[in-house]
């Protein structure tokens, strides 16, 4: 019998520091009103070196919370996959750093880089490994510390992006339900719409190069906005058709939280009422690959995920990459 992948625990971890829109008014030429009206964001969390809120530490805290809920010991894990574009180091992977922190000695650990779709890509890798029988228990993490690559002089990005981590524990079980499907898409033609020039481990040749701040994230928001709506709507429909489901069968959509207007347009396109769409962008902003696992954890802890309910996860981000997963909740 082919094993199904079931989510048996969720967790998240946010930095302590809250940065409000009002405070951003003192940093760049912006207003609370503009940020909220154009994005739906009121505040976000920004990590601190002093508080030991590194990418690894945030990922570890989220993982420990997910493992606690799953009531399994880290040494039962045979795979750790982390979606991130802001690792603490170019190598080793964040997954290996988390492995050390939680003592998951038996796991194979590696990262995936798929922009804001990192968590859904990682979930797909784990689902496939479970289906093949090469893995029984896995940890999937989405974590970002975008504040480390934000250009705090660019009002087009610094008001949107933030830090945080979310994680799930996935277990092979013979019973039906769990992860029903993963759809993944990419289009490298448009990589320049959202990128960091040389990575955050860039070693400058001269001081002049440092002044250009080449590690900073650069985004062309407007063309991304339109593509995000189209790509997320299309892949959500593909996922529904693949599972022979209609939007009436979906109890909750947990979308990537990049912009409230994108989320509302997605809901309208796939004809699902906003009451069935989970959003927390107002308090966390866009944490890239972490938005979906953070929202999933909050929805789970708030009791929004009923047993056997169908849940649609859908993302879009740098690459470009986009993805959708349908779950039948069994936790």
Active site residues: 116, 256, 286
Taking the least distance from each CB to ligand UT7, the nearer of 30 and 251 is 30
In the range 178-217, which residues lie near ligand UT7 by CB under 6 A?
194
In the range 43-102, which residues lie near ligand UT7 by CB under 6 A?
none
**Options 116, 254, 263, 266; binder of ligand UT7; rule CB under 6 A:** 116
**Options 81, 258, 263, 277; binder of ligand UT7; rule CB under 6 A:** 258
Contacts of 99 (CB under 8 A, 6+ apart): 80, 105, 107, 109
Separation of alpha carbons 31 and 29, rounded Å: 7
Query: Which segment (13-21, 34-42, 51-59, 178-186) binds ligand UT7 by CB under 6 A?
Result: 34-42
**Options 202, 225, 245, 276; binder of ligand UT7; rule CB under 6 A:** 225
Instruction: Please work out, in degrees rounded to the nearest 5, the angle formed at the alpha carbon of residue 121 by the alpha carbons of 71 and 315.
Output: 100
Taking the least distance from each CB to ligand UT7, the nearer of 39 and 63 is 39
Least distance to ligand UT7, CB of residue 331, Å: 27
Residue length of the chain: 331
* By CB under 6 A, residue 159 contacts ligand UT7: yes
R_g (Cα) of the chain, nearest Å: 19
* By CB under 6 A, residue 224 contacts ligand UT7: yes
* By CB under 6 A, residue 34 contacts ligand UT7: yes
Which residue do the tokens 């289906």 mark? Answer: 131
Q: CB of 149 within 8 A of CB of 196? A: yes
Taking the least distance from each CB to ligand UT7, the nearer of 224 and 272 is 224
Q: Across the chain, how many H-helices and E-strands are there?
A: 11, 13
Least distance to ligand UT7, CB of residue 6, Å: 28
265 SS3 class: helix
Least distance to ligand UT7, CB of residue 303, Å: 28
Which residue do the tokens 């990049």 mark? Answer: 258
Spatial CA neighbour of 83 closest among 65, 58, 105: 58
Total residues binding ligand UT7 (CB under 6 A): 21
Separation of alpha carbons 315 and 288, rounded Å: 9
* By CB under 6 A, residue 38 contacts ligand UT7: yes
**Options 259, 287, 300, 330; binder of ligand UT7; rule CB under 6 A:** 259
Separation of alpha carbons 211 and 198, rounded Å: 14
228 SS3 class: helix
Interface with ligand UT7 (CB under 6 A): 30, 34-35, 38-39, 116, 155-156, 159, 194, 221-222, 224-225, 228, 258-259, 262, 286, 316-317
């Amino acid at each position: 019998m082919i094993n199904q992948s079931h989510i048996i625990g969720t967790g998240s971890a946010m930095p302590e520091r809250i940065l409000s829109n009002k405070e951003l008014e003192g940093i760049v030429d912006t207003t609370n009103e503009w940020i909220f009206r154009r994005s739906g964001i009121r505040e976000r969390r920004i990590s601190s070196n002093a508080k030991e809120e590194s990418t690894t530490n945030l990922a570890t805290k989220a993982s420990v919370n997910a493992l606690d809920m799953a009531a399994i010991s880290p040494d039962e894990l045979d795979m750790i996959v982390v979606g991130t574009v802001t690792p603490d180091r170019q190598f080793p992977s964040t997954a290996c750093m988390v492995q050390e922190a939680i003592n998951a000695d038996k796991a194979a650990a590696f990262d995936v880089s798929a922009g804001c779709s990192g968590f859904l890509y990682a979930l797909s890798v784990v689902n496939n490994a479970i289906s093949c029988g090469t893995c029984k228990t896995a940890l999937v993490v989405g974590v970002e510390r975008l504040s480390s690559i934000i250009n705090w002089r660019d009002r087009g990005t610094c008001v949107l992006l933030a830090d945080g981590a979310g994680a799930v524990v996935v277990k092979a079980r013979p019973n039906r339900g769990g992860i029903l499907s993963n759809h993944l898409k990419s289009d490298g033609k448009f990589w320049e719409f959202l990128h960091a020039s040389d990575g955050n481990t860039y070693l400058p040749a001269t001081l002049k190069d440092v002044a250009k701040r080449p590690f900073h994230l650069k985004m062309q928001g407007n063309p991304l906005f339109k593509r995000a709506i189209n790509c997320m709507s299309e892949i959500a429909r593909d996922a529904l058709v693949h599972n022979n489901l209609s939007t009436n069968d979906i109890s909750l959509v947990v979308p990537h939280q990049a912009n409230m207007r994108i989320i509302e347009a997605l809901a309208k396109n796939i004809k699902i009422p906003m009451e069935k769409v989970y959003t927390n962008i107002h308090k966390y902003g866009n944490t890239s690959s972490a938005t979906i696992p953070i929202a999933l954890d909050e929805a789970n802890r708030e009791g929004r995920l009923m047993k056997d309910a169908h849940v649609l996860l859908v993302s879009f981000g740098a690459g470009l990459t986009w993805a959708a997963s349908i779950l039948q909740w069994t936790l």
